[in-house]
């Protein structure tokens, strides 16, 4: 991707930015790349293995990167929503970043996967994507690849199956899944919107969320995490991809997103001016559950 | 809350639910007080924790109560437009709405929780909330499924 490499080198040489964050070829597939020297810009790539949402590196939890000054970051159309989330919540000034939007034809589930995309190996969030042409970017690069193969979303189907169960059966399912959580916090660290410098889960006095990886503590952790991300999660899928225990975290995230959309008419957006739904309210919000 | 860990199941097989209420200072707590001073009969199963506002009721309080032995929870505050802090209950209402559906999805029956608006003059309504919730939780049985999950503390 010569266009991306040339632009990165130019931005660095002109000192428009102090750092370019993109993707490069690693020993096991694509991986995030950090380029501060224009001579290294040739490392940058973009293809269907570049699944990482690099907006996570713009989080205020990464002050060492902010030390580079202005940062240029390569983003797919969907990643722009995470940048918008940070701007919306005053965690990032839009003028402090240069967004290098890459036209996208869908990505694999894992950066270690290779080969052409099929209905089988396409990441679920790419199904029905409407932002293959990245919005609100400073530069938009590359040719628009063909649309990814179409199929039904897998998670929507799985959520409907779970919804159809009774409480005991759903509880049994999640007890089994969440019992495997080792509380490594990878799901939090990788998330572009888990911006708290001190997470509630790290507070031990009082221990609102027990830090030991017991199933009950894990329920409290995941319920809390999901609620803190309600109306903020951008469905990048990074939490589920990072999870070493293979817990289907996106099922929870998608469920909450559907609730937020149904109740408050809000869908995650790349427009930072639209207020987040939790933190806003309307006098006539539904309250059929309140006596 | 740490004291509220003893079992609620008696050897005779009868079950007295333990219900934790989180209420706001300005409306529901005053309403509950009125119910008391008016000597309205009420189930003795409810313990009250008073907070400044429903906006201060973190949903983690609810999970913590279940963790530490509650079989049911009541969350109550001022009616819409009556909040002492103007909008605390409006903020809380959105969070509660999402929380309810979230725990439902995780397999925890949201009927374990009563959400209500009770004003300072609604002593009668408070007594109904208390009695109805106690009866409902009595029918549902102890919430041992949740507190019995593996945990660090008993
Ligand atoms: S919760 Fe997961 S899917 Fe949502 S923004 Fe965070 S990392 Fe992405
Ligand atoms: S889980 Fe909640 S408290 Fe922890 S970092 Fe994420 S948003 Fe912040
Ligand atoms: S990444 Fe997976 S194992 Fe680690 S804390 Fe998150 S859910 Fe638990």
pLDDT in tens, B115-140: 999 999 999 999 999 999 999 999 99
Whether A9 and A137 map to the same domain: the answer is yes
- Nearest partner of A188 among A180, A178, A198, judged by Cα: A198
Q: Which domain holds residue A264?
A: 154-278
State the average pLDDT over residues B65-72: 96
Give the three-class secondary structure for B115.
Answer: strand
Q: Is the pLDDT of residue A189 over 60?
A: yes
The closest alpha carbon to A138, from A4, A33, A243, belongs to: A4
DSSP A192-218: TT---SS-GGG--SS-SS-SS--HHHH
**Domain assignment present for B11:** no
Minimum-distance ligand 1 atom for the alpha carbon of A235: 3
Query: Does A171 contact B151 at a Cβ distance shorter than 8 Å?
Result: no
Indicate if the pLDDT at residue B1 is higher than 80.
no
Q: What is the pLDDT of residue A206?
A: 85
Q: Are residues A130 and A210 in the same domain?
A: no
- The reply to whether B43 falls in a domain is yes
pLDDT above 80 (res A5):
yes
ipTM of the complex: 0.95
Number of domains in chain B: 1
Q: What percent of chain B has pLDDT over 90?
A: 85
User: Residue with the nearest Cα to atom 1 of ligand 3?
Assistant: A243
A124-172 confidence digits (pLDDT tens): 999 999 999 999 999 999 999 999 998 988 999 999 999 999 999 999 9
Percent of chain B at pLDDT exceeding 70: 90
Task: Look at residue B7 in the predicted model and tell me its pLDDT.
Answer: 47
Residue A69 has pLDDT above 80, yes or no: yes
Does A159 share its domain with A124?
no
What does the pLDDT read at residue A13? 98
User: For chain A, what is the mean pLDDT?
Assistant: 96
Tell whether A213 lies on the interface with B, counting CB pairs under 8 A. no
Residue B153 pLDDT class (50, 70, 90 cuts):
low
Question: Does a structural domain hold residue B34?
Answer: yes
When pLDDT is cut at 50, 70 and 90, the band that residue A271 belongs to is very high
B65 — contact with chain A (CB < 8 Å)?
no
For residue A226, what is the DSSP state? H
Q: How far is B11 from chain A (nearest CA, A)?
A: 25
Residues with CB under 6 A from ligand 2: A 188, 194, 196, 199-201, 224-225, 228
Q: For residue A207, what pLDDT band results from cuts at 50, 70 and 90?
A: confident
Q: Has residue A287 been placed in a domain?
A: no
Over residues A20-31, the mean pLDDT reads 97
Considering the domain architecture, whether residues A9 and A136 belong to the same structural domain is answered as yes
DSSP annotation of A190: T
Cβ-Cβ contacts under 8 Å for A36 (sequence gap 6 or more): A12, A18, A19, A20, A68
Report CA-CA distances (Å) from A75 to A59, A175, A236, A262, A272. Answer: 15, 36, 12, 28, 16
Closest residue in chain B to residue A277, using alpha carbons only: B94
Whichever domain contains B27, its CATH number is: 3.40.50
Give the pTM: 0.94
In a domain, B5, yes or no: no
The residue behind tokens 């632009």 is A7
Higher pLDDT, A257 or A114: A257
For A157, phi then psi, to 5°, come to: -65, -40
């Amino acid at each position: 991707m010569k266009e991306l490499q040339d632009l990165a080198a130019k931005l660095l040489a002109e000192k428009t930015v102090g750092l370019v964050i993109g993707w490069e070829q690693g020993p096991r597939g694509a991986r995030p790349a950090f380029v501060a020297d224009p001579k290294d810009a040739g490392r940058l790539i973009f293809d269907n293995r570049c699944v990482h949402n690099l907006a996570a590196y713009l989080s205020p939890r990464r002050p060492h990167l902010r030390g580079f000054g202005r940062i240029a970051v390569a983003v797919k159309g969907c990643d722009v929503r995470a940048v918008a989330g940070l701007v919306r919540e005053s965690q990032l000034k839009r003028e402090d970043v240069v967004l290098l939007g890459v036209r996208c034809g869908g990505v694999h589930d894992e950066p270690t996967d290779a080969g052409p995309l099929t209905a089988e190996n396409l990441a679920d969030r790419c199904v029905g994507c409407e932002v293959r042409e990245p919005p609100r970017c400073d530069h938009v690069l590359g040719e628009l690849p063909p649309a990814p193969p179409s199929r039904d979303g897998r998670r929507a189907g799985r959520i409907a199956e779970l919804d159809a169960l009774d409480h005991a059966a759903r509880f049994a399912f999640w007890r089994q899944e969440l019992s495997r959580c080792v509380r490594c916090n990878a799901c939090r660290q990788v998330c572009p919107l888990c911006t708290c410098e001190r997470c509630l889960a790290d507070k031990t006095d009082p221990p609102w969320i027990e830090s030991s990886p017991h199933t009950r503590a894990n329920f409290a952790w995941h319920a809390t995490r999901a609620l803190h991300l309600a109306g903020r999660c951008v469905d990048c899928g990074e939490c589920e991809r990072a999870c070493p225990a293979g817990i289907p975290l996106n099922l929870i995230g998608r469920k909450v997103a559907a609730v937020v959309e149904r109740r408050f008419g809000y869908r995650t957006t790349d427009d930072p001016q639209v207020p987040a739904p939790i933190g806003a309210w309307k006098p006539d919000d539904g309250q059929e559950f309140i006596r | 809350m740490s004291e509220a860990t003893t079992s609620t199941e008696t050897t005779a097989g009868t079950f007295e639910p333990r219900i934790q209420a989180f209420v706001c200072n300005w409306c529901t707590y005053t309403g509950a007080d009125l119910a008391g001073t008016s000597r309205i009969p009420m189930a003795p199963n409810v313990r009250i924790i008073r907070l400044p506002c429903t906006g201060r009721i973190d949903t983690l309080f609810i999970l913590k109560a279940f963790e530490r032995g509650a079989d049911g929870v009541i969350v109550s505050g001022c009616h819409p437009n009556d909040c002492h802090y103007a909008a605390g209950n409006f903020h809380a209402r959105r969070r509660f709405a999402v929380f309810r559906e979230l725990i439902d999805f995780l397999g925890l029956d949201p009927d374990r929780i009563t959400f209500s608006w009770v004003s300072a003059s609604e002593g009668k309504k408070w007594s109904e909330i208390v009695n109805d919730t106690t009866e409902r939780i009595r029918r549902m049985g102890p919430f041992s499924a949740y507190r019995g999950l593996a945990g660090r503390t008993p």
